[in-house]
Every structure is written in structure tokens, then in C-alpha cells.
Structure 1
């Protein structure tokens, strides 16, 4: 009783204390770190293409809220108006609290980053090479060359050479006299953004 009086202001008096138990419902709050997932539509114009996939900075946040709600959340999906890219760098600050008002989010804002460049295409005809043919067993490759079409930044175009691509087949993988092998193009330059090639499969005849 004395302890309770000490916690009250001087103009308050304790008139009655009930011995009955009182039940108070308390919601348990927990916190955990979750990643961010973009639901933002991005369109590129004027030959701009992404150098890397758009990303958030930071890429994760700390969320706090009702126990059951927080446990059910593994990522936060972030929405924003459609974005049209017409420059090399796009940065937009997004308020996450506005999208998730029922939980506490730290930090409350993140930056959505888009890095792009003006891109162009080029092509080379690359010969198919067979490696590990130690006994020099005769083989016939159909076709013997692969057309590789590459995509790169405009300023890097003149720096990319035929030697930056390689089409290799390991002889040890040829188990039959007739083999149909999936084409695999090795890219040796980090200036190349993407490639496509034709044909998708190569026939190898082994003259055992």
C-alpha cells in the first residue's frame, strides 16, 4: 500500500483496493529482418537497358509488430508508379511506412536504384573446338561454326573481339558415334551484357 501511494501524485487518494484478479490482454510484439521485393514495372526507352537488375538500398529492413503478423511476413513487396528509364541512373526514395501502416519499419524509407546504359548489338561467327581428344580421333562437327550475337554498352562495342567468345565441346562427353550436343557459348569479357546464338544444338560424328 505504501509503495502504491508513493507512485501517486499528492492530490490523489487510494479509496479502495480490490483483491479480485483482473485479466489484461497484452499483444506480444516481435521484430525481425526481412528482404524487399520490387513490384514496380520498369520500362526502358531509347536503347537503354539495365546493367544490373534494379535494387533497393538498403535491401532489407527491420519490421516490428503483432507476433502472428510478423511471423507470417518473409519479404515486403514494394509498389510504386510505373517507371520509364531514359537515363543512365534513376534513383527514387520510397516511404515504406505508407505501404505498411500496421507495422513498424526501420528504416522508414529506402532508395530504389536503376542503373542502365545505351546498348547495341554485334555478332561473330565462332568455330566449334573439341578439347581432350588425346588420340586425335577423327570427328565431324555439324555445323562447325556458331553465330553469336552479343549485347553490350555502346562505348564498349569496339573493345569486344571474336576472342572474347569460345564454343568448346569436351571429347570425354561424347559417348556415342553420333552425338547431339547442346551448344554452350563461353563469354570471356565482362563488357558483354548478354548473348544469344544459333544453332542451339551441334551434331558430332566420331570416326572410331
Structure 2
């Protein structure tokens, strides 16, 4: 069949006036072609390619009071391949799931959720149409410790006093791990270098948590005042 190639727009244009003979050859001599409508076909084309992009979970998961997931919601696979014309897939940086909401969650999450390509050509394909969403849901609780403050990098010729000497830390973790958490899993540090060349009259303490069993932790105080001793 006769075609016109438009390389700028990546299209083939088929014209009936030039392609009717080829049609008749394929249909056979017993068929008489009177007319062809439409008389022009515009066929887009492109170099078939693929691109790996991350999956974005479009969800709202609300846990019941006293429940949570230590490691949050996991998705598998966390990325997929988009297959299609190179020009089209180059504009896509991620793929979203369909909206997925759960409320008052108390048990483990194990769901299959579909993916969608918003505002994309129907010619594009995904290597996976669905992903798996999982989460280990447990009972959670809070605990508190009084953590001693450590002052770092004090020069030998400098003496100072600071207050308070301890800061209360509130931490949040799975109930089953509560008895395994110790004071030594937390450190509160202040750095002399942070105030040595300033006129600040206080340190800003930094909380360091060494246990991966703690989902979150916070200090009840964010200033440590000090005075120099002459």
C-alpha cells in the first residue's frame, strides 16, 4: 500500500487513491471496490521502548486506636516498566495505584491493588497491572525515659554548667517490644561547636535512637541552658 511518512509527527498516512490497487489485490478479483471511506488514515508510530518507574501508593491507612505498623505499608513490586513509544514514556516519571483507603485497621494488611496511568495514551502498557500491599499491624504503646544529656567537644580550657541535666523522652513502639527497650537505646547530645561562635545562651539538644524497634520518639524539651564557669 502507498503511504506517506511524516517523520516530524511520527505518523504514516495512507491514501485511498494510491492504495486501492493493493486492497483489490488482497481482496481478490471477484470484489469490485466502489469507494473507500475514510479515504485517508493517519497511523501514529514510534520506536518501542520501556522505562522503569517507581510505584506511588495513593492510599490513606488509618489504624485503630492503639494499633500501628512498625515498618509502615510495603508495596511489591515497588517499581514497574512502562512499555510503549519512546516519545510517550519519556514524559512519565511514576505510576500511581488506584485510590486505596482503609480505616480502623487492627489486623495485617494483605491486598492486591490495581495500577493506573492517568492522562496517558491507551497504547502504553505496564509490565504489571497490579501490586501487592502488605503491613504487619500490631498493638502499640508509649513509654518514657529520663535521658542524661551529653555535651560534646568542650575544650579543655572551658568549664560550663547546664540545666537540665536530663530530658524526658517519649517513645512509641510495638507492645511486644516494650520490655526490651532500655535507657541505653537513647542518647541526648548537645554540641559545644554549635554555640562556640554565637551569642546563644542555650543548646539545641539532638535525640539519637539506636533501636530499630522504636517507631518514633520525641523530647519533651528542646532547649538546654548553660553558663560559663570562670
* TM-score under structure 1 length normalisation: 0.78
Matching residue of 2:168? 147
Size of the aligned set, in residue pairs, is 194
Please report how far the alpha carbon of residue 173 of structure 1 lies from its aligned counterpart in structure 2 after TM superposition.
Answer: 3.7
Matching residue of 2:219? 197
How far apart in 1 are the matches of 2:171 and 2:162? 23
SS in 2 for 1:199: coil
Residues 178 and 206 in structure 1, CA contact (< 8 A), matched pair in contact too: no
SS in 1 for 2:59: coil
| Larger displacement relative to structure 2 (118-127 or 25-34) | 25-34
Please report how far the alpha carbon of residue 24 of structure 1 lies from its aligned counterpart in structure 2 after TM superposition.
Answer: 6.0
SS in 2 for 1:69: helix
Residues 177 and 206 in structure 1, CA contact (< 8 A), matched pair in contact too: no
Match of 1:27 among 36, 45, 49: 45
Please report how far the alpha carbon of residue 66 of structure 1 lies from its aligned counterpart in structure 2 after TM superposition.
Answer: 4.4
4+ runs of 1 displaced by more than 4 Å? 97-101
How far apart in 1 are the matches of 2:71 and 2:205? 25
Please report how far the alpha carbon of residue 190 of structure 1 lies from its aligned counterpart in structure 2 after TM superposition.
Answer: 1.9
Q: Provide, for residues 115-166 of structure 1, a one-character-per-residue CA deviation record: whole Å limited to 9, x for no partner.
A: 3321100101112122333527331112222110011110111111112211
Matching residue of 1:170? 191
How far apart in 2 are the matches of 1:46 and 1:23? 61
Residues 167 and 184 in structure 1, CA contact (< 8 A), matched pair in contact too: yes
- Does 1 or 2 have the higher relative contact order (CA < 8 Å, sep 6+)? 1
Match of 2:137 among 106, 110, 116: 116
Matching residue of 2:106? 86
How far apart in 1 are the matches of 2:84 and 2:209? 48
Does residue 44 in structure 1 map to residue 63 in structure 2? yes
Unaligned runs of 5+ in 1: 1-7, 14-21
Please report how far the alpha carbon of residue 180 of structure 1 lies from its aligned counterpart in structure 2 after TM superposition.
Answer: 2.1
* TM-score under structure 2 length normalisation: 0.72
| Larger displacement relative to structure 2 (181-190 or 169-178) | 169-178
Please report how far the alpha carbon of residue 46 of structure 1 lies from its aligned counterpart in structure 2 after TM superposition.
Answer: 3.8
